[in-house]
């Protein structure tokens, strides 16, 4: 290759890397896999090595990737936050070790090996032991001020302790570390979003980065971020790392001062020690509580680090020994939808089987319609697929450059492929849901909602029993619950005769619920307890909802056009009306709302405080609401009664200050009886 050809290719690579950096670090929306990005950087490094004239000050190889966002105040790091050079093979690790020995001599050196977390690097500044500023790495020299967001992370110390051993802290110093999401926290976060009908996050790294760079700290606080400290940035007036002679001494001091330090960090001797640590981390990578993409190898001695120094963008005394990417190229053979327990229709790509991370992969999740559209995955596409642990693999990227034109876009079904009920898209276009009341795919979750205290209040119908009833085929719709008998129930695992009798009694007691609880039990999307009450008060009978159109439904208090469409669509679905009729035929008789226009609670606002002996808080609330009252969580001048049980607290005191009428439990029960 001549110089001009190399120059042209180098410019092309710089543009591709710059675009990838911007999307990854600034927009939190990467378009290249880590492996693809590394290939580009290494090709550019090789070109600059062969043709030194191509190495320019603005080259991606000469600086840390990323740029500070304009949304946050810029913060200049006292000591640049460098990125690490990478090693992808044992040969490259040997080259790193050889370079170290060229400077330090033939004696065996001590390394520190640390899991390379897939998160976001930050720097915390402490003055007189108090956290005063926190910033992202940014471009290595200038980061973003995210102090308010970092303060919401529970494990980030707002004040540091004085360690019993080691030097006292100077007036000012900087702590560097990684903000990340543990896999279990990420799974819980996505489970919550799925329950709330929100689009699912794609991976922990992007979610952590996006969470830390929110303009509203309350959003960051709602996400379970974690933090590990791994380095000191500066110590006192000195830009160095103070009186410590070893990196392990710094880590021990940070831990003693109250900073969380990764317990997986280990001190090893020489190259063989590094290899052993790498093999152990690689074998356990999926058993760790967080995502890792390699192992960081650092010299332990501070003097050895100073002697080795750094190049323009990375230290010579450390390297990131990367794990082989768990990605492979394959073809999308077909796309189908799975129906989840909440009715969400999730697209799944069926692939030409391919080995990924030592496992044969033949399918990959596409998450939701928005993600499918964003990635533009089509049947017949060549794609990169990634697997991480036991998680269902996902398609990372479509290789659109090899498209032939024969690829087919996927069209989502209009009806549920399991039960045939209408499939309706959420307002934000993120989730397509089955509206079927008795859809087998979501039956277990629906049964548990049906039996909940706010619904039919069927005591004893927990997840284990619901699972057994569904898997045994004894219950195919909610109405089948009322056809269960003692022999059937006692034939189930861990169901004794007494438990079975209690459950049958609970079923019998549930047959005459208030209409509002019956409507809530049906599990209509967007219909919570308050909306169910409003519908019951307005329509008086469940069959009156069968033909209610959007106009009629919007006359109900707090029901807007979008909610009216969902409710109307539910009752317009013939299968759902059949499910309701089956319940009525099984002996369920929803009771119309009582006249609550009169009586001591009609139109009154009641606050409950303390513990009642005769009723639970939920039962007391229900009794008040059944008589036309409203239960509030706080005392104000608009409060009509405060019901004070045992161990009443600040609400009772506030009632006395405002002159609000206070009822003890006996007076409250008498008032309930008078209003019955």
- Residue 317 DSSP label: T
E strand intervals along 366-475 = 378-379, 382-386, 394-398, 408-409, 423-425, 432-434
Question: Is 511 a residue of the active site?
Answer: no
C-alpha 676/C-alpha 672 separation (Å) is 6
Closest C-alpha among 318, 323, 321 to residue 83: 318
C-alpha 618/C-alpha 229 separation (Å) is 45
Active site residue: 14, 116, 250, 298, which one?
A: 116
- Residue 52 DSSP label: G
Residue 314 CA neighbour count, 13 Å, CB half: 17
C-alpha 18/C-alpha 205 separation (Å) is 20
Three-class DSSP labels, 149-179: HHCCCCCCCCECCCCCCCCCCCCEEEEEEEE
Report the relative pairing of strands 86-87 and 318-322 from DSSP bridges: parallel
Closest C-alpha among 119, 129, 187 to residue 153: 119
Strand, coil or helix: 676? coil
**Going by C-beta distance under 8 Å and a sequence separation of 6 or more, which residues neighbour residue 259?**
157, 160, 175, 177, 229
Angle, helices 463-471/443-450, rounded to nearest 10 degrees: 130
Alpha-carbon Rg of the chain, whole angstroms? Answer: 31
**Going by C-beta distance under 8 Å and a sequence separation of 6 or more, which residues neighbour residue 481?**
447, 450, 458, 461, 469, 475, 507, 586
Angle, helices 183-195/204-212, rounded to nearest 10 degrees: 80
- Residue 246 DSSP label: B
Closest C-alpha among 619, 600, 597 to residue 608: 619
**Calculated CA dihedral for residues 425, 429, 430, 432, nearest 10 degrees:** 10
Q: Is 219 left (phi over 0), alpha (psi -120 to 50) or beta?
A: alpha
Other Cβ atoms less than 10 A from the Cβ of 100: the count is: 22
Task: Give the bridge partners for 177, in sequence order.
Answer: 122, 229
Angle, helices 90-104/270-284, rounded to nearest 10 degrees: 150
Q: Dihedral sign, CA of 269, 270, 276, 278?
A: positive
Q: Which long-range contacts (CB under 8 A, 24 or more apart) does 197-200 make?
A: 197/426, 197/430, 197/431, 197/433, 197/525, 198/430, 199/367, 199/368, 199/370, 199/371, 199/428, 199/430, 199/431, 200/367, 200/368, 200/371
DSSP conformation letters of 522-538 = TT-TT--HHHHHHHHHH
**Going by C-beta distance under 8 Å and a sequence separation of 6 or more, which residues neighbour residue 171?**
127, 128, 236
Residues labelled as active-site residues: 116
């Amino acid at each position: 290759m001549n110089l001009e050809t190399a120059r042209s290719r180098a410019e092309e690579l710089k543009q591709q890397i710059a675009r990838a950096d911007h999307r990854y670090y600034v927009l939190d929306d990467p378009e290249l896999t880590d492996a693809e990005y590394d290939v580009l950087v290494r090709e550019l490094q090789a070109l600059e090595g062969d043709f030194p004239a191509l190495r320019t000050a603005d080259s991606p190889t000469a600086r840390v990737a990323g740029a500070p966002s304009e949304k946050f105040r810029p913060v200049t790091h006292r000591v640049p936050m460098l990125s690490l050079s990478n090693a992808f093979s044992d040969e490259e690790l040997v080259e790193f070790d050889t370079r170290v020995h060229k400077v330090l001599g033939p004696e065996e050196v001590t390394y520190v090996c640390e899991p390379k977390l897939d998160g976001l690097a930050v720097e915390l500044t402490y003055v007189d032991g108090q956290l005063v500023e926190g910033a992202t790495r940014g471009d290595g020299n200038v980061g973003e001020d995210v102090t308010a967001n970092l303060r919401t992370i529970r494990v980030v110390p707002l004040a540091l302790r004085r360690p019993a051993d080691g030097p006292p802290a100077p007036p000012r110093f900087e702590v560097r570390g990684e903000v990340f999401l543990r896999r279990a926290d990420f799974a819980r976060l996505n489970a919550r979003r799925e329950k709330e009908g929100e689009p699912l996050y794609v991976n922990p790294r992007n979610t952590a980065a996006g969470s830390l760079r929110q303009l509203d700290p309350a959003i960051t606080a709602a996400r379970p971020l974690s933090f590990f400290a791994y380095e000191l940035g500066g110590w006192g007036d000195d830009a160095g790392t103070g009186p410590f002679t070893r990196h392990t001494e710094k880590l021990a001091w940070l831990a003693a001062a109250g900073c969380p330090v990764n317990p997986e960090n280990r001190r090893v001797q020489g190259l063989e020690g590094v290899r052993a640590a790498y093999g152990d981390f690689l074998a356990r990578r999926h058993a760790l509580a967080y995502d890792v993409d390699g192992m960081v190898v650092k010299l332990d001695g501070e003097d050895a680090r100073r002697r080795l120094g750094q190049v323009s963008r990375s230290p010579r005394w450390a390297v990131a020994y990367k794990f082989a990417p768990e990605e492979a190229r394959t073809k999308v053979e077909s796309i189908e939808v799975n129906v989840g327990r909440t009715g969400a229709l999730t697209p799944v790509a069926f692939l030409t089987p391919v080995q990924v991370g030592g496992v044969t992969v033949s399918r990959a999740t596409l998450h939701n319609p928005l993600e499918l559209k964003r990635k533009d995955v089509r049947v017949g596409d060549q794609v990169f697929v990634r697997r991480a642990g036991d998680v269902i693999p996902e398609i990372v990227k479509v290789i659109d450059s090899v498209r032939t034109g024969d690829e087919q876009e996927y069209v989502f079904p209009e009806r549920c492929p399991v039960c045939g009920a209408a499939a309706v898209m959420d307002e934000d276009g993120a989730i397509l849901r089955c509206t079927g009341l008795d859809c087998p795919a979501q039956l277990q979750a629906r049964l548990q909602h049906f039996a909940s205290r706010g619904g039919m209040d069927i005591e004893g119908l927990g997840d284990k029993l619901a699972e057994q009833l569904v898997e045994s085929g004894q219950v195919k719709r909610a109405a089948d619950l009322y056809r269960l008998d003692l022999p059937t129930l006692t034939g189930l695992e861990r169901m004794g005769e007494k438990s079975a009798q209690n459950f049958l009694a609970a079923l019998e007691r549930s047959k005459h619920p208030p209409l509002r609880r019956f409507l809530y039990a049906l599990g209509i999307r967007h219909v919570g307890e308050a909306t169910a009450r409003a519908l019951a008060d307005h329509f008086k009978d469940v069959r009156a909802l069968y033909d209610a159109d959007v106009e009629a439904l919007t006359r109900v208090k707090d029901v807007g056009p979008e909610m009216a469409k969902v409710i109307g669509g539910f009752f317009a679905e013939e299968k759902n009306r059949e499910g309701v009729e089956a319940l009525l035929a099984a002996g369920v008789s929803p009771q119309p709302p009582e006249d609550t226009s009169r009586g001591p609670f009609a139109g009154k606002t009641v606050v409950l405080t303390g513990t009642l002996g005769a009723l639970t808080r939920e039962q007391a609330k229900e009794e008040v609401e059944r008589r036309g009252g409203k239960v509030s969580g706080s005392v104000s001048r608009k409060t009509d009664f405060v019901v004070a049980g045992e161990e009443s607290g600040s609400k009772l005191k506030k009632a006395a200050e405002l002159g609000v009428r206070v009822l003890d439990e006996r007076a409250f029960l008498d008032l309930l009886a008078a209003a019955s």
